[in-house]
Amino acid sequence: MLAMKLRILTAQDINQALSMAQAVEAMKAAYRELSLGRAVMPLRSRLPVERAGGVTLLMPALVEPSGDMVVKLVSVFPGNPALGLPTIHAVVVVFDAQTGQPVALLEGGALTALRTGAGSGAATDILARADARSVAIFGSGVQARTQLLAVCAVRSIERAMIYSPDSAHAERLAGELAGTNAVTARIELAASPEAALDGADIVCTATSSHTPVFPGRALARGTHINAVGSYTPEMQEVDETTLQRARVYVDSRSAALEEAGDLLVPIEQGKWSVESMIGEIGQVLAGDVKGRTSPDDITYFKSVGVAVQDAVAAGRALKAAEAAGLGQVVEL
């Protein structure tokens, strides 16, 4: 019997193989294929780990036109930073869609951060005002970092405000971002949520908060919001006032209505109705629903993260890595 060969890609390999700009275009393709019904994506399975306050998720997906096929295993343990560990650990297994044979193993933390940021980049590119120049980032972890990198990949950002209750983490993130070629914006630390929103054209929330991180009444007209942090029905980063004022879009309607506390909490309280949702971001890309209709629109993109993102991002990263000779091939 022939030995199984796997190409193993580290976080460094992935970031070298796939730029943020390339990842943004990949996410546009992923969202479009999902909304057009050309992807197979069962709802992810959840394994709660109550004693540690974490959860492990199993996320399979097949994108039929491209043949991108993966299963991602990802653990989200919010208590990990106190132990000196990342909040997210993940691996992605890539399969050959013709034979079902595993062909690659990717470090999933880097891929998740890249594709999550790129998803917001895609939404920002099609929903934010073309003249948007300032961004407010809520959160100071890995996801917050890629949110800013993605927004900077699609808009000429001149000013970035970071707000986090953990000021030390916020300072460290600001220092890291200020030293990257991809971010030329002036980076400042906000003393309060309201201060972060002052003058912001784009808002990104990447936290594990169970309560809204800013008051929706403070949003200026024309703002675009990317909300990526909450991933359970109990977590709510964004309040009902924001939803009431905004044109609401999601990555996956079925996944969002299963998992997104930002939507489910206001629905349960009778403060917002799912009938007010405009549609999926992929429907905008496919031309089936309208995006921004005026400069004064507030637009809101809720992403719970979907496996088609991992499939397309992994497929493109693997193809580029093979061409560049990145990674290590092992026999099992």
Look up the CATH number of the domain holding residue 269.
Answer: 3.40.50.720
- 147 shares its domain with 102: no
- 208 shares its domain with 86: no
- 302 shares its domain with 314: no
- 96 shares its domain with 156: no
- 292 shares its domain with 321: no
Residue 113, C-beta contacts closer than 8 angstroms, at least 6 positions apart = 88, 142, 143, 145, 146
Within a domain: residue 133?
A: yes
Within a domain: residue 118?
A: no
> Could you list the residue range(s) of the whole structural domain that residue 76 is in?
5-112+308-331
pLDDT digits (tens, 9 = 90+) for 256-309: 999 999 999 999 999 999 999 999 999 999 999 999 999 999 999 999 999 999
Within a domain: residue 146?
A: yes
Within a domain: residue 120?
A: no
Dig out the tokens for 67 from the structure: 């043949």
- 102 shares its domain with 231: no
Residue 66: its pLDDT value, please? 94
Residue 69: its pLDDT value, please? 98
Q: What is the DSSP string of 102-166?
A: EEEEEEHHHHHHHHHHHHHHHHHHHHS-TT--EEEEE--SHHHHHHHHHHHHHS---EEEEE-S-
- 280 shares its domain with 211: yes
Within a domain: residue 169?
A: yes
Among 200, 182, 171, 179, CA closest to 146:
182
Q: Are 231 and 285 in contact (CB under 8 A)?
A: no
Residue 100 phi/psi, 5° resolution?
Answer: 80, 5
Dig out the tokens for 251 from the structure: 């990555």
- 287 shares its domain with 151: yes
Report which residue type is found at 282: G
Split at pLDDT 50, 70, 90, the class of 230 is: confident
Of the listed ranges 32-36, 43-47, 325-329, the least confidently predicted one is: 43-47
- 275 shares its domain with 289: yes
Residue 94: its pLDDT value, please? 98
pLDDT digits (tens, 9 = 90+) for 53-109: 999 999 999 999 999 999 999 998 989 988 999 888 999 999 999 999 999 999 999
pLDDT digits (tens, 9 = 90+) for 157-212: 999 999 999 888 899 999 888 867 778 889 999 999 999 999 999 999 999 899 99
Look up the CATH number of the domain holding residue 15.
Answer: 3.30.1780.10
Residue 115: its pLDDT value, please? 97
* DSSP strand pairing (159-163 vs 186-189): parallel
Q: Are 199 and 159 in contact (CB under 8 A)?
A: yes
Give yes or no for residue 1 having a pLDDT over 70: no
Residue 279: its pLDDT value, please? 98
pLDDT digits (tens, 9 = 90+) for 121-170: 999 999 999 999 999 999 998 899 999 999 999 999 999 999 999 888 89
257 vs 220: CA distance, rounded Å: 27
- 159 shares its domain with 298: yes
- 285 shares its domain with 140: yes
Domain count, the chain: 2
Terminus-to-terminus CA distance in the chain, angstroms? 12
Q: What is the pTM of this model?
A: 0.92
